[in-house]
Structure 1
């Protein structure tokens, strides 16, 4: 996994306050920063080689799902996670080296605490967390799907390798990430770059130097947005008020509670107390996808869970997801996950 950077330990709190245990791990040199591998170990996840990286499988006793990590060089980690746990889990990333996390959250409640600040729940979009060298604790909710991708970068890696010799125009420190605004890190090109990163991690066939260049691309796109704000579209028509965002959040929750048979558009519009056209537009502005696309991807996420178990045939899973034609279901699944349902099931030796 490459040599470590900085002194660190990992801590986990699992379950309720009555059933909580805390563990510490540290290697023989007192150096242990390995992206999310220490978290995976503490969660009892089983490690296996996965293409150019590692996959950590959640034990059935704790839940289901996986974490895939690429660590091309010391100080740079690229992660994609998809799991669901029966009890709340917390993990403390404890390092004395400045670093930053760029999260791309798709689903689930993920809360960040530490750094002397109040708890912060990550929104379903690109979010940055910068550490000056102090502990960061990540809390994962229970009984719901957690799906996110992340890029973890240490300051000494940025200057010692990533942007070495780039001149003052590329100067960057993780602490500067605190000044980034949501619009600056959620422009279409940054979202696309993070999506490309996600699929490279999940397919695990791209040569490791790719992650070095992709990380630099993403950081420089954000730096450009910060220095040239006029490039960001600020049209009033694309603004969603705080009140309307709360209504859209309720709509998303209603869909998530019954993803396989979500309420129709008219019922969702009634829940949001807005017209169907305004609901469609507002939902896309908040989440970056249409309601139909969100439901379609959500059903394919549910399909992944069902395919991981040998309880239903692919045809039955297709019907459960609302597809009478198994071929159409397979086409949609492949378009979203870049793998066919049968290929995905075979990866579990089913």
Structure 2
């Protein structure tokens, strides 16, 4: 059973869950796998392409009509980077506490593990995903590049820093649009995957160097506690935990937490939260169908004026100008 589950995931990617657990309708045409829920299950489409062994790219926009659960047990290493634009999705991994998956860009590193993914009913799910199995990474990356370009040994140490950036968001939107348009070019998709991994690895190195230069006086236990605080903020950026909750997570008093957080990340907690919100706002601005007012409301601002002021303070340009500049750029 475990071997079958792992083999199915490796052969079919995310489609294995939809086909085996939910029995979605499937249509394969010109290299694109299109999946649709049964009429009683939901409505919408999922598109997936497999440019080569061990690599899958997919995008979906669908609505489940009832609560749905998919169980997985994959005894193989994999890397999954995905952009959840919307959806009521919860991850429960290896018996840990349920973790709602927030909107934004996420990194999932699978060492042999099992868990469940829960979908809430009547909440539109919209996403784009890149899934890489270990054999693809070894064959196409590890064997072709030096550790200075791509160090496979450190992949499973990657942390969730700076994923909600405009350049990564742009890549996912490009992948999404190409999938929907029926693009199947291996060259196109592998070039985008290479670009994505290069950005993620670069951000990892940059952040690691910055932190190393700032927190020499912090103990290993304090660093771990502060990382838990940062993750709690990143994973709940639309509704960040109160300071009292962060103190409990870190097992520190308010003064100690404030001082230690600034020492490790270079900015106060409140500033870090505002910066993270602005980075996520830059992703939302790439969706031209969203008004500035709706984005401001989504991020918890009382009005568009206050949001625009905060955005300009961070990016040195208004949301309107930022959107205009980005949409004048080439989309692929």
Q: TM-score, normalised by structure 1?
A: 0.60
Tell me which residue corresponds to 1:346.
none
Q: By how many angstroms is 1:156 displaced? A: 2.1
In structure 2, do the counterparts of structure 1 residues 137 and 198 end up closer, same or farther at CA, with 3 Å as the change threshold? same
Q: Structure 1 or 2: larger helix share? A: 2
Partner of 1:208: 186
Question: Which of 37, 42, 61 is residue 63 of structure 1 equivalent to?
Answer: 42
Aligned counterparts of 1:197 and 1:174: Cα–Cα separation in 2: 27
Aligned 8 A contact 1:115 1:131 in 2 = no
Q: 2:206 pairs with 228, 237, 246, which one?
A: 228
Describe the SS at the equivalent of 1:49: strand
Say if 2:136 is the partner of 1:108: no
Alignment of 1:1-350 (within 5 A): 7-9=3-5, 33-41=11-19, 42-173=21-152, 176-177=155-156, 179-183=158-162, 185-229=163-207, 239=271, 241=273, 272=300, 274=302, 276-280=304-308
1:77 to partner: Cα distance: 0.7
Three-state SS of the structure 1 residue aligned to 2:136 is: helix
- Cα gap change, 1:214 to 1:275, in 2 (>3 Å): closer
CA distance in 2, matches of 1:195, 1:36: 19
Output the CA distance in 1 between the equivalents of 2:166 and 2:62: 27
Alpha-carbon deviation of 1:80?
A: 0.3
- Over residues 283-333 of structure 1, what are the superposed CA-to-partner deviations in whole Å (9 max), with x where a residue is unaligned? 898xxx969x99xxxxxxxxxxxxxxxxxxxxxxxxxxxxxxxxxxxxxxx
Q: Contact conserved, 2:76 with 2:112, CA < 8 A, in 1?
A: yes
List, as ranges, runs of 4+ consecutive aligned residues in structure 1 with deviation greater than 6 Å: none
Number of residue pairs matched by the alignment: 255
CA distance in structure 2 between the aligned counterparts of 1:115 and 1:86, rounded to whole angstroms? 27
Alpha-carbon spacing, 1:101–1:175, altered in 2? closer, same or farther (3 Å): farther
Q: Distance in 1 between matches of 2:145 and 2:297?
A: 50
Structure 2: 5+ residue runs without aligned partners?
211-265
8 Å Cα contact 1:89-1:141 kept in structure 2: yes
Q: Secondary structure at the match of 2:61?
A: strand
Report the equivalent of 1:348. none
For the residue of structure 2 that corresponds to 1:169, the secondary structure is: coil
Matched residue of 1:117: which SS? Answer: coil
**d(CA) in 2 for partners of 1:118, 1:157:** 31
CA positional deviation for 1:58: 1.6
Greater displacement, 194-203 / 31-40: 31-40
TM-score, normalized by length of structure 2?
0.63
Contact 1:100 1:174 in 2 (8 A): no
In structure 1, how many angstroms separate the alpha carbons of the residues matched to 2:54 and 2:86? Answer: 27
Cα distance in structure 2, aligned partners of 1:218 and 1:198:
14
Q: Contact 1:89–1:139 (CA<8 Å) still a contact in 2?
A: yes
Q: Which residue of 1 aligns with 2:221?
A: none
In 2, Cα distance between equivalents of 1:115 and 1:282: 39
Deviations 1:177-209, CA, capped at 9 Å, x for gaps: 5532231x2322222222211112111224123
CA 1:220/1:136 → structure 2, altered by over 3 Å: closer, same or farther? farther
Contact 1:131 1:174 in 2 (8 A): no
Shift of 1:121: 1.7
Mapped contact 1:114–1:137 kept (Cα < 8 A):
yes
> Is the CA contact (8 Å cut-off) linking 2:107 and 2:160 kept in structure 1?
no
Whole-Å Cα distance in 1 between the matches of residues 271 and 137 of structure 2? 34
